[in-house]
Structure 1
Amino acid sequence: MLRAIADDVWAYERDLRLPVGFLPSRATVVRRADGGIIIHSPLAFDDATARAIDALGEVRALVAPSCLHHLFLKAATERWPHASVLGAPGLEKKLRGLRFSPLPRAGVAPEIGDDLAVRRVEGVPYITEHVFLHARSRTLIVTDLLFNVHEVRGFGMKIFLWLGGAWKKTAQDRVWRVLTRDRAATSRSVADILAWDFERVVIAHGDVIDNDAKYRTRAALAWIGGGAALLPPA
């Protein structure tokens, strides 16, 4: 079932089964100004969800925004074979046999159009996350850069998130500190993202952040060091 989040922005949600339990997960659906549909970080979908997406418009692009968010991309390409496919550089090692265009470091991708600006979070090559801005609705779209999980199924997932410092709050999992290889590059990326004009954050795991979104994003990413001076206090 699709859930409306903002003008021309929807989501469908599933629990992703991991070895430690079930992680709430979200795929984001954006309608371009020309009516075309973009599916960001596709999840498993049933026929009813696919029909609901088709009712919004023609699916023009499928996006795997990081090297960790690609598990259901192949199924999405089979359901929407005429859509352009975009992915994070490095995914070619995991998606052998599935052709896709690499997402740009910054700016816009022709296959997506200028409805979504993109900025790669550099310096973390294992993840290579790309963050998007839907300017018309002032919506930031991220995958694992931020978590905001307050409810889960199973005790194991609660412990996993608590150990990562990402349970019941807007936070970045501590694993980013381990995986960051070039903190200066990551800091520059974060500064660019924080300079965008957004009032909500749609994340892949947890509740949508729709109040004090910029302040909470800045606070969660403060350890990286980038962009703090660009923003006023909450």
Structure 2
Amino acid sequence: MLHMITDVLWTLEDTIRLGGGMQMPARATIVRLSKGGQSGESKLVLHSPLAIDDETARGIARLGKVEWIVAPNCMHHLFLKGACERWPNARVLGAPGLERKLGEGVRFEALPSEGPLFDGEMAVRRIDGAPSLAEHVFFHPGSRTLVVSDLVFNVHAAPGFSLPLFLRIVSAWKKLAQSRVWRLLVKDRAAAAQSAEDVLRWDFDRLVMAHGDVVEANAREELATALTWMRHLPSPPLSARTTG
């Protein structure tokens, strides 16, 4: 079922099953751009697609035409093939590295590391320094919304006990937080820190993530706090410091 956030922003929510009995709340995001196509039909961006049935597809069609399908990192690809089959004329953009998981099943254009996208109505920034994930985040100035996938979680409820236990272990349960798993994924702290600072320069007030509750206000300040580890580099060892 589609959920309207604003007149240009909708979400589709479901629960996906992961290993170890975990059931993760998940969200796809749909952004309607202000510039329509030649027919005047609104153009849509489908971010991180989930399983979409015929009824939901008809609801999406009432919003406009899916012009772009986005797989924003190397984990959010499970339902990409189904979305591409449903909208075969859409352009498919994916995180570099996904080709190793998708094989020949789905062809896509690699997302750029940064810059304007979707007729210039949105912008993208990759979180550098963690190539195995290749997380890309997106800014929609028209609604002052930042759209992320796994950069942060904000999960306050989940079925079963496996996911709550896991999120407690990685310090990301019942709060807006960055999973401690990032500390294993990041191989270049300086590059990751610069990416985070670049994202925080955008003027957003709403944060929509793939897993957890949407943050409707003061999102930039809350995200800055959630990204404290990523933004702050460790001090060099005492032996490496110079004295005056």
Same fold (TM over 0.5): yes
Equivalent residue for 1:81, pick from 88, 92, 97: 88
Q: Which amino acid aligns with 1:107?
A: G
SS state at 2:102 partner: coil
Deviations 1:12-48 (CA, angstroms, capped at 9, x unpaired) = 0000111232100000001111210110000111111
Task: Kindly report which structure 2 residues correspond to 1:23-62, keeping only aligned pairs within 5 A, or say none.
Answer: 23-34=24-35, 35-62=42-69
Measure the CA separation in 2 of the matches of 1:182 and 1:211.
Answer: 31
SS state at 1:32 partner: strand
Task: Quote the residue 1:204 is aligned against.
Answer: 210
Task: Quote the residue 1:8 is aligned against.
Answer: 8
Return the TM-score normalized by structure 1. 0.94
Deviations 1:62-84 (CA, angstroms, capped at 9, x unpaired) = 00000011110000000000000
Task: Check if 1:106 corresponds to 2:106.
Answer: no
Measure the CA separation in 1 of the matches of 2:230 and 2:210.
Answer: 21
Deviation at 1:224, TM superposition (A): 1.5
Runs of at least 5 residues in structure 2 that lack an aligned partner in the other structure: 36-41, 234-244
Residue pair 1:66, 1:130 contacting (<8 A) in 2 also: yes
SS state at 1:5 partner: strand
Aligned-pair identity (%): 52
Deviation at 1:203, TM superposition (A): 0.4
Task: Quote the residue 1:231 is aligned against.
Answer: none
Deviation at 1:146, TM superposition (A): 0.6
Measure the CA separation in 1 of the matches of 2:215 and 2:55.
Answer: 27
Deviation at 1:223, TM superposition (A): 1.0
Measure the CA separation in 1 of the matches of 2:141 and 2:162.
Answer: 37
Deviations 1:55-100 (CA, angstroms, capped at 9, x unpaired) = 1011101000000111100000000000000000111111111211
Measure the CA separation in 1 of the matches of 2:231 and 2:87.
Answer: 41
Task: Check if 1:120 corresponds to 2:121.
Answer: no
Task: Quote the residue 2:23 is aligned against.
Answer: 22
User: Once superposed, what is the RMSD of the aligned Cα atoms?
Assistant: 1.2
- In the alignment of these two chains, the number of paired residues is 225
Q: Which runs of 4+ in 1 moved over 6 A?
A: none
Deviation at 1:7, TM superposition (A): 3.2
Task: Quote the residue 1:68 is aligned against.
Answer: 75
Measure the CA separation in 1 of the matches of 2:163 and 2:110.
Answer: 32
Runs of at least 5 residues in structure 1 that lack an aligned partner in the other structure: 228-234
Deviation at 1:226, TM superposition (A): 5.5
Task: Quote the residue 1:232 is aligned against.
Answer: none
Measure the CA separation in 1 of the matches of 2:15 and 2:64.
Answer: 26
Return the TM-score normalized by structure 2. 0.90
Residue pair 1:190, 1:226 contacting (<8 A) in 2 also: no
SS state at 1:55 partner: helix
Residue pair 1:139, 1:198 contacting (<8 A) in 2 also: yes
